[in-house]
Structure 1
Amino acid sequence: MQLFVRLWQSLLNPRPTAGDRQFALALSLGFAALYGCLGLRQAFRGAYIIADDGRHHLFWMQRFLDPDLLPQDLITDYFQSLAPWGYLHFYKLFALGGVSPFLLSKILPLVLALSLTPFCFRLALQLYPLPLGGFFSCLLLNQSLWLASDLASATPRAFIYPFFLPFLCALNQTSLWGCAITIALQSLFYPPLSLVYLGLLTLNLGQWRGWRWRLKPLGKAHRLWGVSTIVALVCLVPYAAPNPYGPTITGAEARLLPDFLEGGRSVFFHANPLVYWFTGQDSGLLETSMKEPITLILGLAIPLVALGWRSSSGLWQQLLPPKRLFADLGLTALGLFVLAHLTLFRLYSPNRYTQHTFGLLLVLGAAIVLAQGCRLLSQLWIHPSSQPLGLRGWLQRGLGFLALGAIALGTVFYPCTLTSFIEPEYIQGQQPQLYQFLAQQPKDIQVAALIPEADNINTFSGRSVLASWEQTRPYHVGYHRQIQQRVTALMAAQYTADPAVLLQVVQTYGIDVWLLDNSSFDPAAMAQNRWFQQFPTALDQALAHLHTATPVLQQLQGSCQVLTEGEVVVVDLACGRSYLQSPIAGRNTLKPPDLYPKVGRSRG
């Protein structure tokens, strides 16, 4: 018991020794490692597992190990063109050593969690002296990261906090090299947040006098701003070049696209203004930053402390001078959020500037409030009164101990009650035979599909798919226009009863196999298909065809299928070529599917 009391007192020491800090940091790293290992268990629980966003940012990296994969593929080339320079070359460096990008992406979240935790601890102590505050900051941040998918995705977003936290520590210490290096790394891995860095550096040129901000005399803050700005601009130059699949869509154009409206692939414009401005995906001020863990809501007490509670509690006075971070970071994020809305979508999604910054402020604020509460309760429990304790004294001490235990245990174990904790958005392919079959085909094979499984084809089989719902992104006009053309062509070909129409689409896009499932020719399922609903004219035509004649592909499905797994059927178009080119030929003239162990070529 005495050992426990001494350890607890070390966490509450307002003038912590090196040993006090090391003990609190070790606890923080222990929980970071625990959560990371639980995440590893999810990543390696089976075959064909990848983070949801990996189907955007990782699938094309198979080219690092085999440059012949996915040749001249629109989707692959597009997403590769979006990759930040540092992120791309980071994975490429490991691939040169034979490390698969998919394997690296599963291990990386644990490494990143362990690397960001010491900087979170250090930042918290720069704001509030108790080691317990540093521990709570690390605990809450790691919990929030593993309740979301950013860190586990190992995509550019996973590198935000490993660079953002060191930058804030360096800024508080006015470290020239620290700020310059971290802003360079952030620009190379996740460029949007480098604008937040520049905003903080700009506000750091002045100082707050009450509610007024005044410029500082020329000095270190100005050198810090100048050098960091030059470094950021140099690193951001590559992103100034126009995207080959551009231009970027404007806000006015986006309002006319079903993709950006409710029910669309990239819903942005919500009918409810409260949802649009506060909680909407990509558009909302808060979005995911305040969802979980619920203990983050305690962070809202910090502005209340600053505005009025400080005179009675003294908590605001206990915070160290870098507490101006709360105001600077909040103003910077809010300013960029407004600017991004005014210039849609030139600065990407407005939420990117508030989601992580506000989330970090809530983590720090909640940790400080929790630590201060534990400190006050500990005074009732640990420090004995000089007078003998009566019934009231023992009751007060007992209630203090119970409250303290409830706070500590609740903060640590509360996330374990959530089904989403350490359940990142990993996608597990459900058709292993399909992926293996396609992976055995020529590397330049072209797959056509209008079913959900199309989302996984290029990721798990390394073969090109003509279009997929998951990889339909409307932000660049050139890319989106080509995807739209492909989808409308596929819908026309899949539901036509005219072999000439199907043959024209097959030859135009060089399609080798076509994937169907049990709902492909079900009118009710087609009408409810979110992807099809983006193309109302094509959908109406497809439904009309179904009511008048049997589509050609539906006829070929029985005779030319080379693989059936679950609900998915693979139709070999080389098998049906004779039927497509000679409409008078009957289905009986087709060769049996067992003559096609590998899909033939339909080009030429």
Structure 2
Amino acid sequence: MLNGWLRALDPTSPRGDRAGRWALALSLAVAIGCALPALFQAFSGPYVVQDDARQHVFWMQRWLHPDRFPNDLMADYFQSVAPWGYQGLYRLGSILGLDPMVFNKLLPIGLGTLTTFLCFQVVWQLLPVPLAAFSACVFLNQNLWIADDLVSGVPVAFIYPLFFLFLKGWLGRSPWQLFSAIGLLAGFYPHGVLLGSSLIGLDLIWRTWLIAQRSPFQVRSLLKTLWNQRRLELSLLIFSGLVLLPFLGKSSQYGPVLTAAEAKTFWAQFFQVEPAWAYWFKHRRTGLIPIDWWEIDFAFPQIILTLLFPILWWQRDRFPLAQTTRSSLVFVPQLLIVSGAWFTVAHLLLFRLHLPNRYSEHSLRIVVAILGAIALSWLVQKAWQWAKSRPPNTKLSNSKAKGLVLLITGFLLIYPFTFPGFPATQYEIGNHPQLYEFFQNQPVTIRIASTTRETDNLPSFAQRSIVVGPGFTMRYHRRYATELLQRATDLIVGQYTPNPDRLREILNRYSVDFWLLDRADFDPNQLQKMGWVRWFRASPQEPLAIAHRQAIEQLRRGEVPVMQTLLDRCQQFTDQSLVVLNGNCLRSSL
């Protein structure tokens, strides 16, 4: 089949259309093939949840069971920041009878297939040959499934299909596709509207400059010409501004967004990155380049091919297929420019525009898929012509040369699928089913306190509220950030205090019904290793870190926490590593 595609590199070939259909079918098969392992893992047991879904989906149980998570700070917060389109899609699923957690597991295969279809269409508009479109889809799926954005099914997962829809509309100048894409991006991932509208604006500035060169100093004539020739672009910019207005004017009940100065107090470790350059280029949330590229040492063939593309473009007269590549490819450097600009602005206005990497990471994944595929097609066609020209009786004959070209091409396309951990899913598997069942049998109004990592799983697996959990620490609003840190500090204090009155105060403040402990919690060496402070990114000067150090010192001095003395009396559930204490028993025993 690849042999046939190579013969069809000439888009005027009579085999081109048929080969194109096969290329599209195989591209969709690749997308489904990448998604199936994740789908099987997602349904491999009753207690499996994607990492990000534990924060962004759990609260949707309220739609099926309105009594779930009453007065729950974290459920209320994540519901308040969820985009309206994202909420609407999951709400539709729940109306159709789909549990939000089940719907979340089904979404990735659909999103991946749709993204692949649109990617194929975009590349076909740039270079209508099967190998280019298929390679782009393969490269894109490799990039999507080495990260956990698409598989998460949360708002970030929608940037890829919707932005490819935008690019398809932009290349084809399709008004309905462009307006639909911008409207949907506003509803699912507003960062994409900023990128798309800026791409339109940059192109409009360039076109305006060209018009101005023809009629200098005639402002009225310039504006008239601009409106007549660029009415679609101007309308799209106006529409983009309108759909972004609700976000610009939206206030949160959790206070204003943290400033960079405030974040250095609440998220001190967020900024403490060594070496310093890594904060700008390698950081998971503030780095320019996707973190997973660093983790694989940039061993993606499409990255190397993309870096080669400027050289190939400079020497494009040597590549016959370059003459078939359409000039609309100019959107790629424009996209890189606007992505870099918004990345910089997001750093200057840190957290007000969310996270800086949101403006560069997704664009880079899209760009390397497209440019890598086009570069590969140019090179393969040139190599194929060379192979065909080889004399049959030489050491490297015509057939051997063709086989070598096929082998190298196949290796470049297949090699990344062999990376360890591919596809990356970040599915969390619950290891304490009896614990979840125990809490499920308790009233829906209960609240659970704990400093264990298992706390993060309880809202998803037990559908019960927690006081605070380390997985809910992505906090961007002042009131929410303050409350989370206070709760985390109080739980450390309550768990290790030798003062019964202090423990009673904390139990009552948070209406704790159950307290979940790890059996190793009262070992000072294990407590020192505990990630509670690290999970909440607390600096050594913050009350949380101070409370943690004091607890370790108390245990080493032999001071017994009052909670430890009540383990046997108030224990209501236990397994090999965890113990659940009854809150009412704790209160009555103090």
TM-score (norm 2): 0.90
Partner of 1:592: none
**Mean Cα deviation higher: 3-12 or 357-366:** 3-12
Distance (Å, rounded) in 2 between the aligned partners of 1:20 and 1:516: 61
Deviation by residue 1:190-226 (Cα, 9 ceiling, x = unmatched): 1111100111110221448999997994156632233
Answer with 244-253 or 234-243: which moved more.
234-243
SS for the counterpart of 1:218 is helix
Match of 1:53 in 2: 52
Q: Residues 222-261 of structure 1 correspond to what in structure 2 (within 5 A)?
A: 222-240=230-248, 241-257=250-266, 259-261=267-269
Determine helix, strand or coil for the equivalent of 1:247.
Answer: coil
SS in 1 for 2:345: helix
1:348 match: 354
Compared CA separation, residues 140 and 220, structure 1 to 2 (3 A): farther
CA distance in 2, matches of 1:362, 1:37: 24
2:571 is the alignment partner of 1:571: no
Are residue 440 (structure 1) and residue 447 (structure 2) matched? no
Aligned in 2, Cα 1:560/1:289: closer, same or farther, shift over 3 Å? closer
| CA contact 1:174–1:220 (8 Å) conserved in 2 | no
> Does the alignment pair 1:558 with 2:568?
yes
The correspondence of residues 329-408 of structure 1 with structure 2, limited to 5 A, is 329-381=335-387, 383=388, 389-392=392-395, 395-408=396-409
Name the CA distance, whole Å, in 1 between partners of 2:564 and 2:460.
Answer: 27
Asked if residue 304 in structure 1 is aligned to residue 305 in structure 2, the reply is no
In 2, are the aligned partners of 1:491 and 1:538 still within 8 Å (CA)? Answer: yes
Query: How big is each residue's C-alpha offset from its partner over 1:86-117, in whole Å with a ceiling of 9 and x where there is no partner?
Result: 00011011101210111111111111111121
Q: What is the SS of the residue equivalent to 2:196? A: helix
User: How far apart are residue 125 of structure 1 and its match?
Assistant: 1.6
Distance 1:549 1:212, change over 3 A: farther
Code of the aligned partner of 1:350: P
The answer (yes or no) to whether the contact 2:302–2:368 under 8 Å persists in 1 is yes
> What amino acid does structure 2 have at the position aligned with 1:112?
L
Q: What is the alpha-carbon distance in structure 2 between the residues aligned to residue 221 and residue 418 of structure 1?
A: 49
Which residue in 2 is equivalent to 1:595? Answer: none
Where 1:285 maps in the other structure, the secondary structure is coil
Which residue number in structure 2 is paired with residue 600 of structure 1? none
Distance 1:280 1:9, change over 3 A: same
The answer on 1:286 being equivalent to 2:295 is no
Contact 2:147-2:292 at 8 Å conserved across structures? no
d(CA) in 2 for partners of 1:214 and 1:147? 47
Q: Alignment partner of 2:265: what SS?
A: coil
Write the distance in 1 (CA, Å) between the matches of 2:100 and 2:252: 24
Select the residue among 1, 7, 10 that pairs with 1:9: 7
Residue 378 (structure 1) shift: 2.1
Residue 150 (structure 2) pairs with residue 151 (structure 1): yes
Residue identity in the other structure for 1:498: N
- Measured in 2, the distance between the counterparts of 1:530 and 1:243 equals 30
Q: 1:134 to 1:209 in 2, by over 3 A?
A: farther
Q: Give deviations 1:126-157, integer Å, cap 9, x for gaps.
A: 22232210000011111211111111110111
Contact 1:12/1:131, CA 8 A, preserved across alignment: no
CA contact (8 A) 1:91 1:101 kept: yes
Distance in 2 between residues matched to 1:550 and 1:151, nearest whole Å: 47
SS in 1 for 2:8: helix
- Aligned position for 2:29: 30
Q: Which runs of 5+ in 2 are unaligned?
A: 215-221, 539-543
Q: 1:176 to 1:569 in 2, by over 3 A?
A: same
Once residues 287 and 8 of structure 1 are traced to their aligned partners in structure 2, the CA distance between those partners, rounded to angstroms, is 32
Distance 1:474 1:46 in 2: 31
Change (3 A) 1:523 1:171: same
**Shift, 1:244, TM fit:** 1.2
Q: Give 1:553 deviation, angstroms.
A: 0.9
1:412 CA displacement: 3.7
Tell me if structure 2 keeps the 8 A contact 1:457–1:464.
yes
Bigger Cα displacement from structure 2, 464-473 vs 17-26: 17-26
Deviations 1:57-85 (A, max 9, x none): 11111111101000010011011111000
Contact 1:377–1:403 (CA under 8 A) maintained in structure 2: no
- Per the TM alignment, residue 448 of structure 1 is displaced from its structure 2 partner at its CA by 0.3
What secondary structure is seen at the aligned counterpart in 2 of 1:475?
Answer: coil
- How many residue pairs were aligned? 566
**Amino acid across the alignment from 2:336:** G
Q: Give the counterpart letter for 2:570 in structure 1.
A: C
- What amino acid does structure 2 have at the position aligned with 1:390? N
Partners of 1:436 and 1:309 lie apart in 2 by 66
Q: How many angstroms does 1:456 deviate by?
A: 0.9
Match in the other structure for 2:69: 70
State the shift of 1:53 in Å: 0.4
Q: Report the Cα offset of residue 255 of structure 1.
A: 2.4
Q: Is the 8 A contact 2:4 2:19 kept in 1?
A: no
Q: Give the deviation of 1:486 after TM superposition.
A: 1.0
Helix, strand or coil at the partner of 1:205: helix
Q: 1:248, 1:345 within 8 Å by CA — same for their partners in 2?
A: yes
1-side partners of 2:210 and 2:458: how far apart? 56
Partner Cα distance (1:505, 1:317) in 2: 72
**Residues in 1 aligned to 2:2 and 2:252: alpha-carbon distance in whole angstroms:** 59
AA aligned to 2:382 is L
User: Alignment identity in percent?
Assistant: 34
- SS of corresponding position for 1:126: helix
- Cα drift, residue 511 of structure 1: 0.4
CA contact (8 A) 1:21 1:131 kept: yes
Q: Distance in 2 between matches of 1:496 and 1:22?
A: 69
Change (3 A) 1:317 1:454: same
Deviation at 1:26, TM superposition (A): 1.1
**Does residue 185 of structure 1 match 2:184?**
yes
Alignment of 1:416-431 (within 5 A): 416-431=417-432
TM-score normalised to the size of structure 1? 0.88
Q: 1:244 to 1:176 in 2, by over 3 A?
A: same
Q: Within 2, Cα distance between the matches of 1:552 and 1:5?
A: 74
Alignment of 1:77-116 (within 5 A): 77-116=76-115
Supply the distance in 2 between the matched residues of 1:39 and 1:475 (Cα, whole angstroms).
30
> Any idea what the Cα deviations from partners look like across 1:557-600, whole Å, max 9, x if unmatched?
122111112311101122233321xxxxxxxxxxxxxxxxxxxx
Contact 1:35–1:146 under 8 Å retained in 2: yes
Deviation at 1:548, TM superposition (A): 4.4
Contact 2:23–2:131 (8 Å) recurs in 1: yes
Q: CA deviation at 1:455?
A: 1.1
* Aligned partner of residue 428 in structure 2, secondary structure: strand
Residue in structure 1 matched with residue 541 of structure 2 by the alignment: none
Alignment partners' CA distance in 1, 2:274 and 2:3: 55
Distance, in Å, in 1 between the alignment partners of 2:291 and 2:315 is: 28
Q: Secondary structure at the match of 2:472?
A: coil
Equivalent-residue separation in structure 1 for 2:380 and 2:524 (angstroms): 61
How has the CA–CA distance of structure 1 residues 220 and 538 changed in structure 2, closer, same or farther, with 3 Å as cutoff? farther
Pick which of 191-200 and 419-428 moved more.
419-428
Q: CA separation in 2, counterparts of 1:473 and 1:357?
A: 23
- Are the equivalent residues in 2 in contact too, given 1:290–1:359 (CA < 8 A)? no
CA separation of 1:147 and 1:464: change in aligned 2, threshold 3 A:
same
